[in-house]
C-alpha cells in the first residue's frame, strides 16, 4: 500500500507540477481537520442528549426546578429565581457527568450559585474535597461569601508565602486538617512544582475556576498546568462572553470534555494558531467549525444577562462627556502628536503601543509627561540635591539621568520631599490644569448637592495620584484602592465605603477594581479614562450595577475631544456591537474582529 501511494503521489506531482512540501502540507491539514470533525461529532452526540433537558430547565424556570434551595444554606438568605435555575442546571450536568461553564454577566452572583451547588452536593453526601481557584483580587470575597451563605462547609485557605504553603501541604497530605473545600489563587496553585504536585495528588471531586481566562487558550503552559489537577469534575465561571475564535472554543470544549480530547489536543493546538483572525481571514472550514462548536457548546454554557433576569434591578443610564482640552494641554497634545508622527514616518518600527500610550496620557493630564521641568531646570536641581544628606556623595550627572525619565508630576513630588529643591514645586494651577478636571469640578459639585456617591475609575495609578490632589483641593472625603492595596486591606476599604455615607468618592484603578468587588452603596460611576477593551469598562461599571443596588446607576465616561480617545471610543463601540455572544448567535459570521490597535492608531495619526 505504501509503495502504491508513493507512485501515485509522484504521478500526481509530475502531472500538476506541485512541490512535494505543498502536497504533504495539504495532507497534514486534511488529517487535522478530520480529527476536529470526528471530535465535534462525538461532542455533538452528548450535546443533543442534554439539550432538551437543559432547555426545559432554563426556559421553564422555576416550574421545572426540581431542586430547592439546599437546607444547609443560611436560612435568612434566599437564592433568586434565576440562581435556583443555575443550581438546577449545574445539578443536571453533574448527573450526566459533564462539566459546565457558568457565564452569567458580571454582578449576577456566580459565586453564590457555585456555593449553593457545593452545598447541594454536601447534602447528597458528597463532602468533597473540592478546590476553588480564583484571581487574588476575589479571594477575600469568596471566603466571605462562604461564611455568609454556608458556614457549615469547612474551608481551607491555601495561600501565603512559600514557607506557609509548605506547612499547609504537609497538613493536607497527612490529613491533619479537616476541610470540604480548598480555596486558592491561580499563582498559589501553579506557580511552582510543589504546588502543582499537591493538586495532582489530592483526589478532588470538583475543581472550580473563577474568571478562568487562562482556560481559553490550550496553547499556554498555564492551561496545561491547570488541566493536570486531579479532579473528577470541573466548573468554569466567567463573566465575559465567548469570542468567535476557534482556539478559544476548542480550548473550552476540551476543558468541558477532557476525556474525549485527550488523544488529539496536539493536533488541535497546532491547527488553531492563537492569533485572532478577522472574518475575511477565517477559512470557510473555520467559520463552519465555529458555528458548529457554538451549537455543540450551547447546553454546557449558561449565560444570562442582567437585562433578562433582573427586571427588579434599577436602570443604568450611560452618558458620554466629551471634554475639550485646556489651552496648555491642547498645545502640548498637538506638539506631541506632530513629534510622534514624524518619528513613525521616519521609522516604521517605532512601537505603536508606546505611541498610543503617550497620546492617551497627554489626553488625560499634561503632568503625565515631562515638559515643565526642562533639562536646564533638572541640571540646577541635580546640583542642589548634593546638599541632601542622602545624596551627598552622589554624582549630579547620574541624578540628572534619573530625573530625565520622570514625569512632571513625579518630579513635583520629589520637590515636595527634598528641602533643597522645594522651590521647584509646580504651581497648584498646573496640577489642576486639564480639560477633564474642568468638567469634573462642576460635575462633582452637582452630584454632591444631589446626595449621590461616586466611584471614580482611572487606568493609571499616577492619574489617581493627581486626582487625589484634585479631591483634596476641593475638600471632598474619599478612599482609594489600586493594585498596591494589600489583599487583606481591600475588604476593609470596601466595607468602610459601604458603611460610612459621608465618604463621597471611591478612587479605583480599573485593574484592581475588576472582579468580585461590590460597591452598591454608590450610584454614579465616572470613568476618567476609557480602556482599549470595552469589557474592562463594563466590569468597572458592574461594581455598582449589580444585585443589591436600589438606585438608578449613572455611568459617565470622560473622553478628550479631538484625541486618540475618540478613536478608542469608536473602536470600543464596534467591539461591543460585535458582542457575538454564543448564547444568542448560531453562526460564526459576525465574528470578524474589529480594527486592531495598530490600524486604529495609523488611522488616527492620518498615516
What are the residues whose beta carbons fall under 8 Å from the beta carbon of 516, sequence distance 6 or more? 111, 134, 135, 137, 138, 141, 142, 210
Q: Categorize the per-residue pLDDT at 367 as very low, low, confident or very high, splitting at 50, 70 and 90.
A: very high
Among residues 514, 405, 504, 497, the alpha carbon closest in space to that of 459 is found at 514
Q: By percentage, how much of the chain surpasses pLDDT 90?
A: 27
Q: Categorize the per-residue pLDDT at 602 as very low, low, confident or very high, splitting at 50, 70 and 90.
A: low
Would you say residue 307 has pLDDT above 80? no
Does a cis peptide bond (omega within 30 degrees of 0) precede residue 129? yes
Would you say residue 146 has pLDDT above 60? yes
pLDDT of residue 584: 43
Grid cell, residue 457, equals 475609575
pLDDT of residue 491: 80
Burial bucket for residue 583 (CB in 10 Å: 0-12, 13-18, 19+): middle
pLDDT of residue 580: 43
Would you say residue 69 has pLDDT above 70? yes
Our CA dihedral for 95, 101, 107, 111, rounded to 10 degrees, sits at 50
Strands 454-458, 505-509: pairing is parallel
Per-residue pLDDT of 77-93, as tens digits, reads 888 888 888 898 898 88
Would you say residue 386 has pLDDT above 60? yes
Tell me the average pLDDT of the chain.
Answer: 80
502 phi/psi in degrees, rounded to 5? -80, -15
Would you say residue 351 has pLDDT above 70? no
Per-residue pLDDT of 514-561, as tens digits, reads 555 678 788 899 999 988 777 777 777 777 777 667 788 889 999 999
468-494 average pLDDT score: 88
> Contact 505/456 with Cβ under 8 angstroms?
yes
Element (H, E) at 49: helix 20-60
Grid cell, residue 513, equals 477594581
Q: Categorize the per-residue pLDDT at 159 as very low, low, confident or very high, splitting at 50, 70 and 90.
A: very high
Q: Categorize the per-residue pLDDT at 484 as very low, low, confident or very high, splitting at 50, 70 and 90.
A: confident
CA distance 386 to 396: 7
Would you say residue 157 has pLDDT above 90? yes
Per-residue pLDDT of 259-284, as tens digits, reads 666 555 665 555 554 444 555 555 67
More confident residue, 342 or 477: 477
pLDDT of residue 171: 92
Among residues 48, 515, 502, 128, the alpha carbon closest in space to that of 297 is found at 48
Q: Categorize the per-residue pLDDT at 590 as very low, low, confident or very high, splitting at 50, 70 and 90.
A: very low
CA distance 462 to 468: 10
C-alpha angle 385-391-397 in degrees, rounded to nearest 5: 65
Question: How far out from the chain centre does Cα 578 lie?
Answer: 18
13-17 average pLDDT score: 54
Domains along the chain with CATH numbers: 27-52+85-272+286-308 (3.40.50.10810), 316-327+434-582 (3.40.50.300), 329-431 (no CATH)
Would you say residue 118 has pLDDT above 50? yes
pLDDT of residue 274: 41
CA distance 417 to 391: 13
282-310 average pLDDT score: 72
Amino acid at each position: 500500500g505504501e509503495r502504491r501511494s508513493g507512485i501515485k503521489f509522484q504521478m500526481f506531482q509530475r502531472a500538476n507540477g506541485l512541490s512535494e512540501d505543498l502536497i504533504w502540507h495539504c495532507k497534514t491539514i486534511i488529517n487535522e481537520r478530520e480529527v476536529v470533525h470526528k471530535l465535534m461529532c462525538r461532542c455533538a452526540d452528548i450535546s443533543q442528549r442534554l439539550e432538551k433537558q437543559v432547555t426545559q430547565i432554563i426556559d421553564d424556570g422555576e416550574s421545572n426546578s426540581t431542586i430547592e434551595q439546599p437546607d444547609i444554606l443560611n436560612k435568612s438568605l434566599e437564592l433568586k429565581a434565576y440562581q435556583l435555575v443555575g443550581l438546577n442546571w449545574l445539578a443536571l450536568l453533574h448527573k450526566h457527568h459533564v462539566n459546565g461553564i457558568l457565564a452569567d454577566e458580571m454582578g449576577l452572583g456566580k459565586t453564590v450559585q457555585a456555593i449553593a451547588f457545593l452545598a447541594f452536593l454536601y447534602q447528597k453526601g458528597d463532602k468533597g474535597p473540592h478546590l476553588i481557584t480564583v484571581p487574588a483580587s476575589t479571594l477575600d470575597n469568596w471566603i466571605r461569601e462562604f461564611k455568609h451563605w454556608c458556614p457549615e462547609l469547612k474551608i481551607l485557605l491555601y495561600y501565603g508565602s512559600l514557607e506557609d504553603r509548605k506547612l499547609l501541604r504537609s497538613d493536607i497530605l497527612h490529613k491533619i486538617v479537616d476541610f470540604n473545600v480548598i480555596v486558592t489563587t491561580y499563582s498559589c496553585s501553579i506557580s511552582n512544582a510543589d504546588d502543582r504536585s499537591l493538586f495532582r495528588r489530592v483526589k478532588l471531586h470538583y475543581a472550580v475556576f473563577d474568571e478562568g481566562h487562562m482556560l481559553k487558550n490550550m496553547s499556554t503552559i498555564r492551561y496545561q498546568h491547570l488541566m493536570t489537577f486531579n479532579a473528577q469534575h470541573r466548573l468554569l465561571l466567567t463573566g465575559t462572553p465567548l469570542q468567535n475564535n476557534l482556539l478559544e472554543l476548542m480550548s473550552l470544549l476540551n476543558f468541558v470534555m477532557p476525556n474525549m480530547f485527550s488523544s488529539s489536543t496536539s493536533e488541535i493546538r497546532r491547527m488553531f494558531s492563537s492569533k485572532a483572525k478577522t472574518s475575511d481571514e477565517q477559512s470557510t472550514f473555520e467559520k463552519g467549525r465555529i458555528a458548529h462548536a457554538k451549537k455543540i457548546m450551547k447546553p454546557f454554557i449558561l449565560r444570562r444577562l442582567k437585562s433578562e433576569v433582573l427586571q427588579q434591578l434599577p436602570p443604568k443610564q450611560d452618558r458620554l462627556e466629551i471634554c475639550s482640552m485646556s489651552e496648555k494641554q491642547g498645545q502640548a497634545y498637538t506638539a506631541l502628536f506632530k513629534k510622534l508622527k514624524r518619528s513613525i514616518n521616519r521609522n516604521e518600527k517605532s512601537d505603536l503601543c508606546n505611541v498610543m500610550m503617550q497620546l492617551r496620557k497627554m489626553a488625560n493630564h499634561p503632568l503625565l509627561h515631562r515638559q515643565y521641568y526642562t533639562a536646564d531646570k533638572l541640571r540646577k536641581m541635580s546640583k542642589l540635591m548634593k546638599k541632601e544628606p542622602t545624596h551627598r556623595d552622589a554624582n549630579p550627572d547620574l541624578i540628572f539621568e534619573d530625573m530625565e525619565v520622570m514625569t512632571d508630576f513625579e518630579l513635583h513630588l520629589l520637590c515636595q520631599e527634598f528641602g533643597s529643591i522645594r522651590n521647584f514645586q509646580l504651581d497648584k494651577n498646573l496640577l489642576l490644569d486639564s480639560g477633564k478636571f474642568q468638567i469634573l469640578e462642576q460635575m462633582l459639585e452637582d452630584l454632591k448637592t444631589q446626595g449621590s456617591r461616586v466611584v471614580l475609575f482611572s487606568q493609571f495609578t499616577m492619574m489617581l495620584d493627581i486626582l487625589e490632589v484634585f479631591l483634596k483641593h476641593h475638600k471632598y472625603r474619599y478612599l482609594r484602592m489600586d493594585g498596591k492595596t494589600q489583599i487583606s486591606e481591600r475588604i476593609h476599604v470596601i466595607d468602610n465605603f459601604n458603611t460610612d455615607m459621608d465618604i463621597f468618592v471611591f478612587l479605583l484603578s480599573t485593574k484592581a477594581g475588576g472582579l468580585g468587588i461590590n460597591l452598591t452603596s454608590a450610584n454614579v460611576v465616572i470613568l476618567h479614562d476609557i480602556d482599549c477593551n470595552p469589557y474592562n469598562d463594563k466590569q468597572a461599571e458592574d461594581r455598582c450595577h449589580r444585585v443589591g443596588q436600589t438606585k438608578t446607576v449613572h455611568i459617565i465616561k470622560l473622553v478628550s475631544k479631538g484625541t486618540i480617545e475618540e478613536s478608542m471610543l469608536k473602536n470600543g463601540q464596534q467591539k461591543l456591537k460585535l458582542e457575538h455572544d454564543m448564547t444568542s448567535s448560531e453562526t460564526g459570521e459576525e465574528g470578524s474582529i474589529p480594527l486592531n490597535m495598530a490600524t486604529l492608531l495609523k488611522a488616527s495619526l492620518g498615516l
